Amino acid sequence: MDALAKDSFAPQRYALTKNDFLRKYNISHAHFYNEVSRGKLRITKLGNAVRVLPEDEDAYIALCRAAVNVEAA
């Protein structure tokens, strides 16, 4: 099976709405916007709609994990 066919079976990831992100990570609106204003979480605005793209979600989670590892050391 070539790489293109293999990738076609990967689950499709979509941009999360703000509310979906809040529910997924169990955080408040205030914490969400604090992380955005600090530059830790990148959002994309489509008109009035706020979305978190999959690559921005991954970057945020990696940043959170790195912060936990630093605190534990």
Please give the model's pTM, rounded to 2 decimal places.
0.78
40 close to 60: Cβ distance less than 8 angstroms: yes
**pLDDT given for residue 8 in this prediction:** 67
Q: What is the extent of the structural domain holding 59?
A: 13-72
In a domain, 51, yes or no: yes
In a domain, 48, yes or no: yes
Q: What is d(CA 44, CA 47) in angstroms, rounded to the nearest whole number? A: 10
Which of 54, 29, 56 shows the shortest CA–CA distance to 42?
56
Where residue 36 sits, what CATH number does that domain have? 1.10.10
In a domain, 8, yes or no: no
In a domain, 4, yes or no: no
53 close to 46: Cβ distance less than 8 angstroms: no
In a domain, 54, yes or no: yes
Which residue is associated with the tokens 């955005």?
A: 36
Does 55 score more than 90 pLDDT?
Answer: yes
Render pLDDT for 2-44 as a digit per residue (tens, 0 to 9). 555 556 677 788 999 999 999 999 999 999 999 999 999 999 9
In a domain, 47, yes or no: yes
11 close to 26: Cβ distance less than 8 angstroms: no
Q: Domain tally for the chain?
A: 1
